[in-house]
Amino acid sequence: MALARADHGIDATARAFWSQVHPVFMTPPLAASLFGAILAGHLEATLAAVHVVAMFAAVYTAHVKDGYVDFHIRGEDDDHPLTERGCRVALALSTATFALCCLLLFVLVDWVAAALALPTWVIAYHHAPQLDMHPVTATVGYPLGIALSLVGGFYVQAETLTAVPLGFALVFLVLLSGIKVIDDAQDYDYDRSIQKRTVAVVVGPRRAHAIAYGMMGAALLAVVALAIARVFPPTAMLAALAFAAVGFVARRATPEIATMLLIRGSYVFLAVLVAAVWFEPLAPLI
């Protein structure tokens, strides 16, 4: 049986599998893993690579499962490059890769490293059709995966957890959850028609908008507070300022444009935080 819907052959199948790599959503979890490693103050390349591959496999699982549900089960999408069998094969391969990475983390680090990675796959696999139907889990699933990626990336290097990675993880969880509320608002009409209970559907687009920017504002205030307390380097406040500028522009835009701006703003936010930690290491504070 064919694995790709559009064509046959190895090249067509490879393109269909590769189509499930979505850089916009794939980059933040991988970057968060590396950011966690940088926070540890030293970088063991092999361990970092294993953890990054594990996060890649988890997010790939989410993309394949989400596409499978939206096209083959719900009929929500107009097209999908993989057949049903292709989706199952892709899920098997990504899950096997993730399992191998967890085994390596268990052997090379300890059971805690593997345990911190495992929830990312659970969230990814169950995002659709289970978690994406409830306003809380639909909103925090992806951000929680990124927070766990950051914490796990730190742990595999330091073999401990401290306030610094947990603080950054909390900031990203709240900030990205706010962006996710805006993102979900794009599909308000359709989600309401299928009784998909996103925040926008439950409280209405206007209140969802206020909740989203309130969460993002809280995350930025947390960065400033933690920088003043010297948990984060003082230059981390520049990241909050940069994202606040993006948020100010996005606030007046449509949900689609706002989502595009905010996601790219989160890249800038992360980049400034990486630079802040890189030039002012936090090792003495850990």
Pick the residue with more confidence: 116 or 4?
116
- Residue 7 corresponds to which amino acid? D
Q: Which residues pair with 82 in a beta bridge?
A: 4
Nearest CA-CA partner of 28 in 223, 173, 243, 225:
173
pLDDT band at 284 (very low <50, low <70, confident <90, very high): very low
Helix (H) or strand (E) holding 66: helix 45-67
Contact criterion met (CB below 8 Å) for 190 and 127: no
pLDDT at 128: 86
pLDDT band at 285 (very low <50, low <70, confident <90, very high): very low
Tens digit of each residue's pLDDT (9 = 90 or more) over 181-206: 999 999 889 888 878 889 999 999 99
Tens digit of each residue's pLDDT (9 = 90 or more) over 240-253: 999 999 999 999 88
Question: Where do the structural domains in the chain lie, given as residue ranges?
Answer: 16-159, 162-285
CATH second-level architecture of 162-285? Up-down Bundle (1.20)
Take residue 29 and report the two structure tokens written for it.
Answer: 């979890």
pLDDT at 1: 67
Radius of gyration of the chain (CA): 19
Burial class (CB in 10 A: 0-12, 13-18, 19+), 219: buried
Q: Measure CA 105 to chain center.
A: 20
Tens digit of each residue's pLDDT (9 = 90 or more) over 212-243: 999 999 999 999 999 999 889 999 999 999 99
Tens digit of each residue's pLDDT (9 = 90 or more) over 41-85: 888 999 999 999 999 999 999 999 999 998 888 877 778 899 999
CATH second-level architecture of 16-159? Orthogonal Bundle (1.10)
Tens digit of each residue's pLDDT (9 = 90 or more) over 84-99: 999 999 999 999 999 9
The reply to whether 16-159 and 162-285 are identical in fold is no
Whole-number Å distance between alpha carbons of 97 and 170: 28
Helix (H) or strand (E) holding 102: helix 84-108
Phi and psi at residue 23, in whole multiples of 5°? -55, -35
Pick the residue with more confidence: 6 or 111?
111
Contact criterion met (CB below 8 Å) for 90 and 82: yes
DSSP, residue by residue, 151-198: HHHHHHHHSS--HHHHHHHHHHHHHHHHHHHHHHHTTHHHHHHTT---
pTM: 0.92
Would you say the C-alpha torsion 216, 217, 222, 227 has a positive or negative sign? positive
Take residue 41 and report the two structure tokens written for it.
Answer: 């103050």
129 preceded by a cis bond (ω within 30 of 0):
yes
